[in-house]
Amino acid sequence: MVVLSHCEGNFVDEDQPEGGRCVVCEERLNIRHQIKGLEEKLNELKAKHYALGTTMNEIHDPFIHKFPPEISSHIFRFCLPTFDCEIPKCNRWYWTRALTLGAVCRKWRQLAWATPVLWDTVFLDIHLSMSSSLAKSLPILLLKWLGRSGMLPLTILFDHDVYSMSDYCSLPRVRAVMDATRSILAVIAIHSYRLRDLRLNAGIDIFESLSGSMESHQLSNLDLTANAYLDRRPTPVAAMLSLFERSGCFLKVLTLGTNGIPPPAKALEDLLQAMLSLERLCLVFDLKWWDEDTALLDDIFSRIFHTIPGNGAVCPEGATSKPFLPHLQVMDCRSYNNEPVALFSWDRIPQHYRQGKRRSLTLKSAALKGHITDEIALQLLQLVDEGVDLQIVDEESGSDFPENFRTRTCKQDV
């Protein structure tokens, strides 16, 4: 409410206008003093109410306060989110349940703070809509969070979406968020030797900065989704290869995705060549930037299917004597935006499974009708009936592609 009064304003006693305040302004000032006193009293009551809540929990809590700390800590673990390879994109509060446990009462907080397993997973969401105060405090909060995890292996989920909104925000806010980003990357680098699982959705420069300072010999799961809003460079496979060679980690799960330029096929092949321990590979690329004559993954598929699983030996017709992903169990390949260009040649897949050495390999992908002829679809359906695990989704309907083909051919026969 705007007050149009000369004697009201924000005057202090020494600045009081000549002749004193009018009756109305004086009364309004007295009301403000009363409000201030009531607010102070309200804060006192809230503090007392909070303290009584802690006492009530001590009296009425039938379990946590009566159990040994080891059992209570184990119970707390059941409040945490559970996941394996697929981590759901949930509300940020889904990942802050440890703070919720600590907010119940003083003893719960002491117990939660002293339970490292509650703090070995952290979700960071950096965006320009966050307040400057939160951006400045986040690196300190992250340092404390990771400090409570003791020496446990870490899982870090890092969503960084700054560039897509940078044109619509003030320069000071952009600087505050980017300063916070640099500080957060420094904190992660300090604890990188404990990293077991890193899920990064950010610009290429963020990963390059982070990978240059990481020493992650425990890293077994890496999910890198490169947001190429401003930076259209290919996925930084060279930085990844340098990280793996330097850290000596044994990666088991790798997810690479970008809405920018896919990496060169040879560079991607060299990267995968170094990952002998990989068991699950997921590739998601935007093929509108792909202008080569051959499909991006054709050579990679040939090398995978000509490597005997487990021991890495290669059949005689193989082009190389080096083992290539000998422990791979799941290959998941998809493209953004239902691009008409396929990641690999579907007409080669039946031959790979018939003549290759990887019949137990699970292939997950999506296809348009234009990608697969009826002849190839029939051969894929035969492989499915023989027990080969082909999980092919019809891009148009979202249903199972081989089963759709089966239904369509049955109707035609009738």
Note the pLDDT tens digit of each residue in 359-414.
999 999 998 878 899 999 999 999 999 999 999 998 888 889 989 888 888 876 65
**54 and 176 together in one domain:** no
* Confidence bin at 13 (pLDDT 50/70/90): very low
**116 and 220 together in one domain:** yes
Which pLDDT score is estimated for 408? 84
Of 357, 362, 363, nearest to 311 (Cα)?
357
* Confidence bin at 61 (pLDDT 50/70/90): low
**291-335 pLDDT, tens digit each:** 666 788 999 999 999 888 765 545 444 444 578 999 999 999 988
Which pLDDT score is estimated for 168? 59
Query: In this structure, are residues 148 and 113 in contact, taking their beta carbons and an 8 Å threshold?
Result: yes
**40 and 91 together in one domain:** no
**136 and 50 together in one domain:** no
Is the model's pLDDT at 339 over the cut of 70?
no
**51 and 102 together in one domain:** no
* Confidence bin at 290 (pLDDT 50/70/90): low
Query: In this structure, are residues 57 and 108 in contact, taking their beta carbons and an 8 Å threshold?
Result: yes
Residue at a domain's end among 363, 384, 401 = 363
Question: How large is the average pLDDT for residues 39-64?
Answer: 78
- Residues in CB range of 153: below 8 A, 6 or more apart: 120, 194, 195, 196, 197, 218
**98-148 pLDDT, tens digit each:** 888 887 777 888 888 999 999 998 988 888 888 888 888 999 999 999 999
Instruction: Evaluate whether residue 284 is within a structural domain.
Output: yes
Q: Between residues 377 and 89, which one has the greater pLDDT?
A: 377
**82 and 38 together in one domain:** no
- Give the amino acid at 145: W
Is the model's pLDDT at 53 over the cut of 80?
no
Is the model's pLDDT at 82 over the cut of 80?
no
Is the model's pLDDT at 11 over the cut of 60?
no
Which pLDDT score is estimated for 38? 92
Instruction: Evaluate whether residue 68 is within a structural domain.
Output: no
Question: How large is the average pLDDT for residues 236-252?
Answer: 85
Q: Between residues 205 and 194, which one has the greater pLDDT?
A: 194
Structure tokens at 122: 């952290």
Query: Tokens 């809003």 map to which residue?
Result: 229
Phi, psi (rounded to 5 degrees) for 28 = -65, -40
Residue numbers of the domain that contains 287: 76-363
**271 and 338 together in one domain:** yes
Question: How large is the average pLDDT for residues 208-230?
Answer: 83
State the total domains in the chain: 2
Instruction: Evaluate whether residue 413 is within a structural domain.
Output: no
**230 and 178 together in one domain:** yes
Which pLDDT score is estimated for 67? 76
Which pLDDT score is estimated for 119? 92
Mean residue pLDDT across the chain:
81
**188 and 51 together in one domain:** no
Is the model's pLDDT at 265 over the cut of 80?
yes
**145 and 257 together in one domain:** yes
**151-184 pLDDT, tens digit each:** 999 999 998 877 655 555 677 778 888 899 999 9
**42 and 161 together in one domain:** no
**223 and 347 together in one domain:** yes
* CA separation for the pair 245, 275 (Å, rounded): 10
Instruction: Evaluate whether residue 377 is within a structural domain.
Output: no
Instruction: Evaluate whether residue 295 is within a structural domain.
Output: yes
Structure tokens at 47: 């503090």
Q: At CB < 8 A and 24+ separation, what contacts does 50-55 make?
A: 53/105, 54/105, 54/106, 54/107
Q: Between residues 360 and 7, which one has the greater pLDDT?
A: 360
Instruction: Evaluate whether residue 237 is within a structural domain.
Output: yes
Which pLDDT score is estimated for 337? 65
Instruction: Evaluate whether residue 46 is within a structural domain.
Output: yes
Of 288, 277, 266, nearest to 338 (Cα)?
288
Instruction: Evaluate whether residue 1 is within a structural domain.
Output: no
